[in-house]
Amino acid sequence: MVLGGSKPSTIGVRVEPIEVEAQPIAAFDKLDLEKTRFGKLTWRGGLVLTSPSANFGGWSGLALDDEGRSFVAVSDAGTWMTGTIVYDGNRPKAVEAARLGPLEAPTGHSFTDSDDRDAEGLAVVEGTPAKGRVLISFERNHRIGWFDIDKNGLSRARSYVALPDAMKVAEDNRGLEAVTMLRGGPYKGSIVAIAERLPDGSGNHTGWIWVDGKPQAFHLVNADGYDITDVAALPNGGVLVLERRFRVPEGVKTRLRLIGGDELRPGALIHGETLLDASMNQEIDNMEGLAVHAGAAGAIIVTMISDDNFNHGLQRTVLLQFALDAVDLASAGSRP
């Protein structure tokens, strides 16, 4: 987005606990405080997050455990954060036990150059945010890295994924914004990544599925000029795609699309289905991070976090949570 502030340096940043204060968001719609249904999503609750830490902000990637409590997030300023979401019933109430540290190169040194530390996408692909294996996508210096995670936080980068040739011509700030690993379907276990803005000849978004370790392209219809900000894999082989549009007259808008497992394949032109379309009439900001976990009775709980661009005077870090019921999930995703 164009309203970015100055990102803090990671030089000298060490792993340490940080305080995160949470102000509940009572209603998602500013004009109808009783409304809870938005598209096919049901509002559960949200938080405005702040911290005295100078490195808190810029959160662009998010992953949660199966219970929606333990989390890990990455910032486009080159840091990570872990912690626990506390609930009041099914409404997010607070963030506890938060820790922050720098993302590190294979050498064990922090990514200090701004072109190296612009982390955008995050997926826990083995284990949990407390102990497992993580994929992180970076733009500017485009790459996807493997990291380990445990009680001490994220390890140094262990290795990098082979990228498609198209990334060699991608703009610095329009690169690998979204990454996940498929959890079901014919391509289960395959990495999926989508560029923020890398149009094909018809202006559609470009993404890739790694089949046998090699990236194969697909395209997502670019409806109404949105950019891609994140992607999250669903148990049934489909994915959710988070999108954002910023225009000065209207401000920021957020959209969530569902791509069914039957649509997601190499060479496909994908339409998907819009589940949520939100504007400044709702409690959104620059929504960039997306995570899902299982809810009751087959529901999927959708969590989003915003990148405040370290522009604390005009933007916020908001965490939003919705439920996608099993019936709506089953009926969504395929083009009529």
The model's pLDDT over 233-270, given as tens digits with 9 standing for 90+, comes to 999 999 999 999 999 989 999 999 999 999 999 999 99
Domain spans of the chain? 16-331
Asked if 155 contacts 265 with a C-beta cutoff of 8 angstroms, the reply is no
292 pairs with which residues across the strands? 302
Identity of residue 71: F
Let me know if 271 is exposed, middle or buried by CB neighbors in 10 A (0-12, 13-18, 19+).
middle
Q: Given the DSSP bridges, would you call strands 214-220 and 269-270 parallel, antiparallel or unpaired? A: parallel
Q: Report the pLDDT value the prediction gives residue 4, as an integer from 0 to 100.
A: 59
In this predicted structure, what is the pLDDT of residue 287?
A: 98
**Using CA atoms, how far apart are residues 94 and 85, in angstroms rounded to an integer?**
6
Vertex 96: Cα angle to 278 and 94 (nearest 5): 40
Cα separation values, 238 from 60, 123, 261, 302, 316, Å: 21, 15, 4, 14, 30
- State the burial class of residue 148 (Cβ atoms within 10 Å of its Cβ: 0-12, 13-18, 19+): middle
What is d(CA 225, CA 197) in angstroms, rounded to the nearest whole number? 10
Query: Would you state the structure tokens that stand for residue 142, as one six-digit string?
Result: 């485009």
- Residue 161 CB-density burial (10 A; 0-12 exposed, 13-18 middle, 19+ buried): middle
Q: How many whole angstroms separate alpha carbon 160 and alpha carbon 71?
A: 23
Pairing of strands 287-294, 159-160: unpaired
β-pairing, 214-220 vs 227-233, is unpaired
The CA distance from 116 to 67, in Å, is 32
Is 108 exposed, middle or buried (CB count within 10 Å of its CB: 0-12, 13-18, 19+)?
A: exposed
Beta bridge partners of 86: 94
Tell me the pTM. 0.96
Torsion 194-195-196-199 (CA) sign: negative
> 3-class DSSP state for residue 298?
helix
Residue type, 158: R
Residue among 2, 17, 26, 22 at smallest CA distance from 305: 22
Q: Which residues of the chain have pLDDT under 50?
A: 1-2, 334-336
- Its sign, for the CA torsion 211, 134, 238, 296, is positive
Structure confidence at residue 335 (pLDDT)? 47
CB 11 within 8 A of CB 78: no
- What is the CATH number that goes with domain 16-331? 2.115.10
Q: What is the pLDDT of residue 5?
A: 65
Q: What is the pLDDT of residue 112?
A: 87
pLDDT value, residue 3: 55
Give the span between the Cα atoms of 52 and 20, in whole angstroms.
8
